[in-house]
Amino acid sequence: MDERITRTRERILSADNRCCFIDREIALRECRSASLARPAYERYLFEFETVLAALSTPIDDDDVFAGRFATALWPYAGERFSRTPDGIESEGHISWCWEKILTGGAVSLVEEVEEAAQRHPTFNTRFFANSSRRAVNAVAAFAGRWSAALRSRAEKATDPTVKSAFERAAAALEVVPYRPAYDFFSALQGIYFWHMIASGVCGSRDFALGRMDQYLLKFYKKDLAAGKITREEAVNLLAHFFLKTNELCGTATDDYNASPTPCFASKQYLTLGGRSVDGKCCFNELSEMIVEASRVAALPQPTLNFRLDPEMPEEVWQLAGRAAQQGSLPNFFNDLLIRNTLVANGIAPEDAANFDFTACNRVNLPGRLYNIMSRIDHFNNNTEWFIRALHNVAAPATTDEILAEFKEIARQEMREYARVVNNLFSDGPAFRLDSLIFDDCRSAACDVYQGGADRYRWQHHMFSGMATIADSLAAIEEMVFHSGRFSYREFLSIVDGNFAGNEALRAEIIKSVPKFGNDDDRVDRFARQAADTLLDAMEEIGKETGFLMFGSFYSLRCHIDFGRKLPATPDGRLAGEPISENQSPVYGTDLAGPTAVLRSVAKLPLQRTVCGGLNLKFGCVLSRERAAALVKAYFKMGGLHIGMTMVTRDTLEKARLHPEEYRTLCVRKFGFSEYFVALSPEYQQEIIDRTEYQ
């Protein structure tokens, strides 16, 4: 074990998450008046250049790769961070065009833009081209300052290992990321430096590392063939690189005591494997090395996302099983299901084959889709729609009448959303560094907020509470239509009264009525019908509005946020309680084991979706063989995603009482992992309450 890795990990874990990137924040505070004095479209670049020029170059003797932000507590008590309208910002949740940056350098992106501006000369294109050149030159100047600082430290270093590391990083930053990478090390240094600027200067969470095992492989193979690197050395470099990504995101959570940095608690997704457009399995030796490096780094970022299908070689599945045992808690996705859905809904096969992940289990099309969160992604409060549907029908004879009303409400809601977000682009001059990612932005010298990134007119609708809805329909079926114990209106009145005075009935519903997650078709059919109802409505609105519509069953934290505002539901859920999370059963109602859960979830129309989440908690560490077999069997059923936590309730309870002893314990939260001891008490309890399998 490289002792520098151990020391760096401990430094990251002991860092104060209350600290900000002090140079950045003070620079923005001091330049705010000057920024406001400029036209709105000039402010982004002005602040970008100002911040880069103001950043210091802190270096630690254990650094293998260069790049870090100075951190400190905000010194202006009672004063919030200063943000300028139209100033430096980013949507994040994208992956950069790493192949182009590594093979042509960032300067090649600018050259494409300048050629486009010459072909189509307007004020907007000239402004975009000039801004692109200035922004990339500012990055190069910043890299030059880092290189000089490293050279200076190397001259004073007495430890030959430290001296060599500083000289190597300095040499790389004299080239990358402005010019092409020349070996495996310089490629990693260039990626990290650009990634650091995107995450911490432009400012956002979840800039992804994309398909690293694909775009880095040629650099590794070239160095290996030339005798410049060994496999062990490459794994060590990858581990140091992964530690740097954790320096950026810190150890706080995304929504509780979050760090006051622009990339707070960033989830930095790294996508492994998949298949090429011609069907070739893309797992390779670098995929395996990345898994090993993640184990060595022993911190949760980057999040490893596996693109798998049941027909991949057994060694691929063994690699997945081994990764499942690691504390970083990877995601496993059904590659074939997602690709087929993308192509069936209008995505070109070559773009579908290249998908990666950028946030919360969400599919991304690198260089083809800009995730403007307010425009293409929407968490639908469809459980509220369902409750409305229950009250809109007077005296239904079957649940089909409820679902028909549910569909009409869903159509109305999604139609309105499409109308609101239809025109969010600007006709005026604009520039953001993110625009350089996108082929269409570069070829038209056009910013993302001028519509330059829209290769596809995409909308993504996320639906939640599917188990709550299914269990509610099962309760109505049993109490009203099957047994006839209550009229429809009588039963709704009891539910609307929050089951007050009817506690025994509520207990009976919870205990005796079939629940989603137990492989029981009496209730699972309702989950599929409700899911199909939502997807049918979504696709119909897509045809009306011209959007490519993609759906998923994914809640993030909305199952809690929505639940707080919702009245009671027929399944026995009380007013204000959470609805069901992601694709999971209602907590505590899945009593037949993990295989039954997988069978129930696989009955959802997942072949019509591209994202989603299913989190399983095991009170033991599964063997790699069992973990791999579980995921493989689920994908054969048509499952889309699995994430696993392997920890006992007893351990979680101890961690809650003695957090200092469990600092590195990670658990699955929604579509990603977090440090358990950094979660809010509410979320800690949610993790504890999840059904624990053996």
pLDDT, tens digit, for every residue of 214-265? 999 999 999 999 999 999 999 999 999 999 999 999 999 988 999 999 999 9
SS3 for 196-214 is: HHHHHHHHCCCEECECHHH
Joined together, the tokens standing for residue 475 give 């309760």
Distances (CA, A) of 73 to 22, 90, 256, 579, 605: 7, 23, 18, 38, 49
Beta strand extents in 443-591 (DSSP E only):
458-463, 548-553
* Whole-number pLDDT of residue 578: 96
pLDDT, tens digit, for every residue of 602-616? 999 999 999 999 999
Average pLDDT over residues 542-571: 95
CA-nearest of 609, 579, 591 to 519 is 591
Distance CA 646, CA 657 (A): 19
- Output 339-342 pairs: Cβ under 8 A, ≥24 positions apart: 339/275, 340/607, 341/550, 341/607, 341/608, 341/609, 341/610, 342/550, 342/610
Distance CA 303, CA 294 (A): 9
Joined together, the tokens standing for residue 539 give 């696709």
- The structural domains of the chain, ordered by start, are 3-307+329-373 (3.20.70.20), 377-424+456-612 (no CATH)
pLDDT, tens digit, for every residue of 477-486? 999 999 999 9
Window from 58-62, 93-97, 670-674 with minimum mean pLDDT:
670-674
* Whole-number pLDDT of residue 673: 87
Beta strand extents in 567-690 (DSSP E only):
609-612, 615-618, 641-646, 666-668, 673-675
pLDDT, tens digit, for every residue of 338-358? 999 999 999 999 999 999 999
**Cα 524 from chain centre:** 28
pLDDT, tens digit, for every residue of 440-468? 999 999 999 888 777 898 999 999 999 99
Whole-number average pLDDT of the chain: 95
* Whole-number pLDDT of residue 3: 95
Reported confidence tier of residue 422, pLDDT bands at 50, 70, 90: confident
Q: Residue 656 burial by CB count (10 A; 0-12/13-18/19+): exposed, middle or buried?
A: middle
Average pLDDT over residues 494-516: 98
Length of the chain: 694
Q: What is the DSSP letter of 501?
A: T
* Whole-number pLDDT of residue 477: 98
Reported confidence tier of residue 528, pLDDT bands at 50, 70, 90: very high
Q: Which residues contact 182 (CB under 8 A, 6 or more apart)?
A: 175
pLDDT over 90 percentage in the chain: 89
Average pLDDT over residues 650-661: 96
Beta strand extents in 391-467 (DSSP E only):
458-463
Joined together, the tokens standing for residue 154 give 């190397």
Give the angle 402-404-406 at the CA atoms, nearest 5°: 70
* Whole-number pLDDT of residue 1: 65
Distance CA 247, CA 227 (A): 31
- Evaluate whether 474 touches 526 at the Cβ level (below 8 Å): yes
Joined together, the tokens standing for residue 288 give 């395996």
Is the pLDDT at 580 greater than 90? The verdict is yes
The structure tokens 């989950």 sit at 527
pLDDT, tens digit, for every residue of 270-301? 999 999 999 999 999 999 999 999 999 999 99
* Whole-number pLDDT of residue 694: 85
* Whole-number pLDDT of residue 222: 98
pLDDT, tens digit, for every residue of 68-78? 999 999 999 88
* 404/671: higher pLDDT: 404
**Cα 324 from chain centre:** 18
* Whole-number pLDDT of residue 423: 67
Q: Is the pTM of this model over 0.95?
A: yes
pLDDT, tens digit, for every residue of 22-36? 999 999 999 999 999
Torsion of CA 188, 193, 196, 197, to 10 degrees: -150
Q: What is the DSSP letter of 676?
A: G
Is the pLDDT at 333 greater than 70? The verdict is yes
